[in-house]
Amino acid sequence: MSSEFVYRAMTDDDREAVLELQEIALGTGSTPRTPEFWSWKHDANPFGASPAWVALAGDRIVGLRTFLRWRWRQGDRLLAAVRAVDTATHPDWQRRGIFWQLTRQALDHLAEEGCEFVFNTPNKRSGAGYRKLGWRQALKPSILVRAVKPLRMAGAALRPSQERAAADLGKLPGVDRLLAWPRFGELLSGYDQHWQSRLYTPRDADYLRWRYLDIPGIEYRSLWAADGDDLMAIVVRTRMRRSMRELLISELLSAGDPANRPSLFEGLIERLRAEADVDYLAAAAPPGSCEASTLGATGFRRLPSGPSLMIRPLETSRLGVAELAGDRWQLSIGDLEVF
């Protein structure tokens, strides 16, 4: 190990310096870089507080490596994992092995804890670096879109710099009202039973409250419907993308007869269109799943490109390559965004 830097676990006393480092190294991101957002993400996470490591040059923090604790379920098994997030190296100390050394130290520690694997969705540039560290692509999540106002989308594409405000979702119910729905527990039970054969993030009230209600600086809204034993709910948010008003369907939760889901879903979409002035909708669903069929039946079409989910099983993992194959995963937009 180079004596130029000292590597150690991050402490609470480092937080102000770490936030400052992120601003210097990464600039303004698509999600907030505030103390409140850091605390929500790394302290309040229902899967546990985030382990993080820093590199020091003298008494100055010049490198950061953070891993967000996560849980996946496959059948009866709960799997401990982490997602690689919030990495930064000060521009004056780049290309000196800080990222590599922090990663190696972190992975050794996480393997000793019994963590099964690390995952993330890096961009093309950083993806090459992760491959050198043993990451491999597990799959490209299936992102589907439905145009709501195609002419306005075409105009926005021709004038990508035009200033527009994101759509107002204030008329839609808050996520707190969805959590209070008397049939919400029944909905979650059906959701869990549906995804037993895949790797998926278990949904319960604590997770959904943390993810969509307590998050600072980002507002989510919800809609739900029931027809006898058939239940469905969506959690949504809006943002601007290249001068277009995008509405993300972050969660699509359903239970009951799959044949009845398209009509329930179309009813929710019509309510969305009546209340929110958006240009297009985006969602995610595994190919071949009931959710993918529901989206396809209601006018959603798969994008040819999208993010890549990359993973690195740790040395102590009980999982084989086949158990982490691309057709084993269930990922929502909410699993992919924000982090």
List the single range of 26-40, 50-64, 80-94 with lowest mean pLDDT.
26-40
Question: Which of 177, 248, 246, 169 has its CA nearest to residue 213?
Answer: 177
On the question of pLDDT at 133 being above 60, the answer is yes
149 and 15 together in one domain: no
Non-local CB neighbours of 151 within 8 Å, separated by 6+ positions: none
Contact yes or no for 57/5 (Cβ under 8 A): yes
Contact yes or no for 222/180 (Cβ under 8 A): no
Predicted pLDDT at 155: 83
Q: Does residue 334 fall inside a structural domain?
A: no
As a whole number of Å, the CA-based R_g of the chain is 21
Q: Tell me the pLDDT band of 194, cut-offs 50, 70 and 90.
A: confident
283 and 237 together in one domain: yes
DSSP per residue over 112-151, as a string?
Answer: HHT--EEEE---HHHHHHHHHTT-EEEE---EEEEES-HH
Q: Please give the share of the chain, as a percent, with pLDDT higher than 90.
A: 74
Q: Does residue 339 fall inside a structural domain?
A: no
Express each pLDDT in 248-263 by its tens digit: 999 999 999 999 999 9
Q: Does residue 330 fall inside a structural domain?
A: no
State the CATH number of the domain containing residue 32.
3.40.630.30
Q: Tell me the pLDDT band of 243, cut-offs 50, 70 and 90.
A: confident
Question: What integer best gives the mean pLDDT of the chain?
Answer: 92
55 and 189 together in one domain: no
Q: Which domain holds residue 272?
A: 143-305
On the question of pLDDT at 197 being above 60, the answer is yes
- In this prediction, residues 169-181 reach a mean pLDDT of 97
161 and 127 together in one domain: no
Domain final position from 139, 161, 183: 139
CB-based burial, 89-98: b 16+ in 10 Å, e otherwise: bbeebeebbb
133 and 182 together in one domain: no
d(CA 76, CA 12): 36
- In this prediction, residues 315-321 reach a mean pLDDT of 79
d(CA 101, CA 109): 12
- In this prediction, residues 215-239 reach a mean pLDDT of 96
70 and 202 together in one domain: no
101 and 194 together in one domain: no
Give pTM, 2 decimals: 0.93
Beta bridge partners of 241: 244
Domain count, the chain: 2
On the question of pLDDT at 123 being above 60, the answer is yes
Q: Tell me the pLDDT band of 105, cut-offs 50, 70 and 90.
A: very high
List the single range of 107-116, 156-165, 244-253, 262-271 with lowest mean pLDDT.
156-165
Helices (H), the chain: 15-26, 35-42, 98-113, 124-132, 150-158, 175-179, 184-194, 205-208, 261-275, 290-297, 333-336
151 and 291 together in one domain: yes
On the question of pLDDT at 185 being above 50, the answer is yes
Predicted pLDDT at 209: 98
d(CA 333, CA 251): 7
Q: Three-state SS for 213? A: helix
257 and 230 together in one domain: yes
122 and 211 together in one domain: no
List the single range of 41-50, 164-173, 219-228, 310-319 with lowest mean pLDDT.
310-319
Burial environment of residue 274 by CB neighbours within 10 A (0 to 12, 13 to 18, 19 or more): exposed
On the question of pLDDT at 1 being above 50, the answer is no
170 and 276 together in one domain: yes
Phi and psi dihedrals of 48, rounded to 5?
125, 160
